[in-house]
């Protein structure tokens, strides 16, 4: 493109008048023959990436050509370049930037549309095109596969017109597969969280890729464990750190409520030392200052059986976290003896 002239508008924006400077724009898009006879002119207003505080407005003055190939079904055509194909209202780099903002920068479709002054459907179409480049790419080699569930909206039910029964057509739970050790990120996502859903996704991956997986990190889900035993029989199943800590904190809260009910014969009150220390009990030792630790430890130690039971449970939780920090990364789990072939008992006791 070449600039013919630039106008300054009353609101501060600049209007740029453009002309075609690429000689290949005279080639017919159907047959490729270069045209030599002008049919007319046309003016379009393609949009490009924002530039400056006030922005730019483009007017492309291009020519319409007659195709001199008699056998060509395309009798006439307008000039076009790879960045702005015929009929396009956006430049290719603006559309690509809109898709990459959602795919790579973590922006929402609404925010990307607001920043680039585009409509929601335009940004969503650009995102689908950008995401297709990732989904069509081969999966990276994964040593540690992570599987977890994600809640996505509400379930949807539809009535079967033939049987009259209601059927679940959209599950609110999705299962995500991630590269837990490398930089592959999200590898795939399927609707549902059953054994069949996990095996359906694994069946779409190459056999050599599945054999390369040594460990699979899951939460304490029996469905995921059964799916891994079937789809990845050679992989070692481990419970990821987050869910172990989450379960340990849940059990600590359960011990606090149960101990208070058994010894005091009532629910906890705001004046009870265990109630005042309930938040500190759920934190790690390294996250507590010396003052916070003494404020939690000393009153519970002086409280008697209630406090001593809670402190014993808290020490057990800290010991569990220390065991998880003995050896890292995941490749060394087998050598360190920290990995569990039957990871952690599923009984909440």
- Chain segment 265-324, per-residue pLDDT in tens: 999 899 999 999 999 999 888 888 999 999 999 999 888 899 999 999 999 999 888 887
With a threshold of 0.85, does the pTM exceed it? no
Q: Rounded CA gap, 109 and 249, in Å?
A: 37
Q: Rounded CA gap, 335 and 327, in Å?
A: 9
Please tell me whether the peptide bond between 329 and the residue prior to it is cis, using omega within 30 degrees of 0: yes
pLDDT range class, residue 335, cuts 50, 70, 90:
very low
Percent of the chain with pLDDT over 90: 47
pLDDT digits (tens, 9 = 90+) for 184-242: 888 988 988 899 999 999 999 999 999 999 999 998 889 999 999 999 999 999 888 88
**What angle is formed at CA 285 by the lines to CA 283 and CA 288, rounded to 5 degrees?**
75
Single out the residue of 316, 330, 334, 328 nearest to residue 245, CA to CA: 316
Pairing of strands 186-191, 173-179: antiparallel
Q: Rounded CA gap, 31 and 75, in Å?
A: 10
| Whole-number pLDDT of residue 200 | 94
| Whole-number pLDDT of residue 250 | 92
Single out the residue of 78, 85, 124 nearest to residue 101, CA to CA: 124
Pairing of strands 37-44, 56-66: antiparallel
| Whole-number pLDDT of residue 206 | 92
* Pairwise pLDDT comparison (283 vs 169), residue with the higher score: 283
**What angle is formed at CA 220 by the lines to CA 218 and CA 226, rounded to 5 degrees?**
75
* Pairwise pLDDT comparison (12 vs 91), residue with the higher score: 91
């Amino acid at each position: 493109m070449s600039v013919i002239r630039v106008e300054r508008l009353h609101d501060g924006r600049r209007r740029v008048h453009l002309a075609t400077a690429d000689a290949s724009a005279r080639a017919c898009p159907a047959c490729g023959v270069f045209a030599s006879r002008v049919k007319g002119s046309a003016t379009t207003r393609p949009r490009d990436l924002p530039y400056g505080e006030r922005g730019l407005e483009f007017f492309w003055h291009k020519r319409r050509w007659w195709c001199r190939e008699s056998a060509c079904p395309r009798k006439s055509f307008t000039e076009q370049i790879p960045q702005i194909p015929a009929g396009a209202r956006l430049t290719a780099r603006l559309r690509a930037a809109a898709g990459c903002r959602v795919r790579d920068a973590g922006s929402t479709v609404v925010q990307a549309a607001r920043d680039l002054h585009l409509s929601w459907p335009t940004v969503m179409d650009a995102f689908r095109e950008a995401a297709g480049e990732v989904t069509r790419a081969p999966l990276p080699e994964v040593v540690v596969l992570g599987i977890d569930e994600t809640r996505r909206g509400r379930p949807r039910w539809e009535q079967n017109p033939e049987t009259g029964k209601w059927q679940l057509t959209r599950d609110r739970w999705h299962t995500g597969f991630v590269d837990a050790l490398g930089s592959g990120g999200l590898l795939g996502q399927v609707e549902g969280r059953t054994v069949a859903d996990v095996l359906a996704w694994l069946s779409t991956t190459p056999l050599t890729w599945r054999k390369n997986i040594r460990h699979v990190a899951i939460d304490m889900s029996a469905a995921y464990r059964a799916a891994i035993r079937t789809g990845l029989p050679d992989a070692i199943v481990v419970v990821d750190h987050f869910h172990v800590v989450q379960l340990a904190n849940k059990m600590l809260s359960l011990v606090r409520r149960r101990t208070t009910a058994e010894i005091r014969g009532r629910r906890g009150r705001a004046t009870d030392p265990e109630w005042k220390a309930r938040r500190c009990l759920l934190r790690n030792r390294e996250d507590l200052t010396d003052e916070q630790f003494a404020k939690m430890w000393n009153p519970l130690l002086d409280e008697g059986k209630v406090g001593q039971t809670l402190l014993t449970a808290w020490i057990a939780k800290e010991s569990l976290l220390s065991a998880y920090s003995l050896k890292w990364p995941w490749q060394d789990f087998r050598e360190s003896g920290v990995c569990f072939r039957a990871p952690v008992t599923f009984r909440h006791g």
